[in-house]
Structure 1
Amino acid sequence: MLASRLVKHSEHFPEGESLLSANQVASKELKPSIDVESSQETVGGSSTEYVSLQLRIFKMTLVVTAFSVLFTIIFFDFHAAMSLLVGAFSGILYLRLLAKSIGSLGKESSSVSKFQLLVPVLLILAVIKLPELQLLPALVGFLLYKPSLIIQFLIEPSA
């Protein structure tokens, strides 16, 4: 848009040519202000920060899972607690695969992998095939990573 204004300006006014040539000289003299080394340090720092965030989220998911399984054993039966535990571990596996896919985004791939979507399908197939597992507690267990994400971002000071 700016270039079209300069070209129109140079068609109507003869001094516009000098303005256009002055802008071209000025743009050739400009040097990029991005320091490659400092941007690589920032990327390295953000990747270690991302890894530490992943570890905190996994730890929080394990804590939420432990409390949920204890609650389920106390107020419900043992099979419901085992179903919840199987679902929670499949949710942790899903979260790990998703984090790995997001971590490689931009470095190795340009889109998020869909491989992690097999985990809930395999969970449902396992619940269907194994009679001692129950569907509803397994699905609730699978979704236990979501409250841990919410808790982590509520207690995170820099969020």
Structure 2
Amino acid sequence: MDSYFRLQRRLLVATMLLSAVVVLVTAIAGSLATAFSLLVGSVAGMLYLWLLSRSVTRLGENSRRLSRTQLLVPVVLVLVASRLPQLSILPALLGFLLYKPALILQAVFDS
């Protein structure tokens, strides 16, 4: 379990660093509104990743199935992005998906 917690921490840090770089580059090269949408989406992605890893940790202890709580995160993100005029849906969704490249990079660096 100790190596799993280290991997979990590395994934969260890698997602945070990648999100920070992408948001910073977008703020410099693009618009601040797009960068803000990316930031909100990436925070939602990190929350999703954290909830998923917490659910996987509990999988062996108490239950035999994954929790569905983390599935609410993208739904709430889309609802909030569609209701608030300050957020754009597409950059928010792209920000949410920034945890995926961090997972791929982590797999490449581990092998």
Bucket of the pairwise TM-score, normalised by the shorter protein: over 0.9
Q: Which has the higher contact order (CA 8 A, sep 6+)?
A: 2
Instruction: Provide the rounded CA distance (Å) in 2 between the counterparts of 1:136 and 1:128.
Output: 10
* Counterpart residue number, 1:115: 69
Aligned pair count reads: 111
Higher relative helix content: 2
Q: Does 1:54 align with 2:8?
A: yes
Percent of residue pairs identical? 47
* Counterpart residue number, 2:92: 138
Amino acid aligned to 1:54? Q
* Counterpart residue number, 2:56: 102
Structure 1 residues 136-156: Cα deviation after superposition (integer angstroms, max 9, x where no partner): 100000000000000111111
User: The residue matched to 2:62 in structure 1 has which SS?
Assistant: coil
Structure 1 residues 45-96: Cα deviation after superposition (integer angstroms, max 9, x where no partner): xx11111100000000011001100111122100000000000000000000
Q: TM-score, normalised by structure 1?
A: 0.68
Instruction: Provide the rounded CA distance (Å) in 1 between the counterparts of 2:13 and 2:91.
Output: 21
User: The residue matched to 1:65 in structure 2 has which SS?
Assistant: helix
Q: TM-score, normalised by structure 2?
A: 0.97
User: The residue matched to 1:111 in structure 2 has which SS?
Assistant: coil
User: The residue matched to 2:61 in structure 1 has which SS?
Assistant: coil
Amino acid aligned to 1:82? F
Per-residue deviation at 1:128? 1.2
**Pairing 1:21-32 to 2, within 5 Å after superposition:** none
- Misfit runs of 4+, over 3 Å: none
Instruction: Provide the rounded CA distance (Å) in 2 between the counterparts of 1:96 and 1:146.
Output: 13
Instruction: Provide the rounded CA distance (Å) in 2 between the counterparts of 1:62 and 1:96.
Output: 12
Instruction: Provide the rounded CA distance (Å) in 1 between the counterparts of 2:5 and 2:98.
Output: 20
**Structure 1: which 5+ runs fail to align?**
1-46
Instruction: Provide the rounded CA distance (Å) in 1 between the counterparts of 2:17 and 2:89.
Output: 22
**Structure 2: which 5+ runs fail to align?**
none
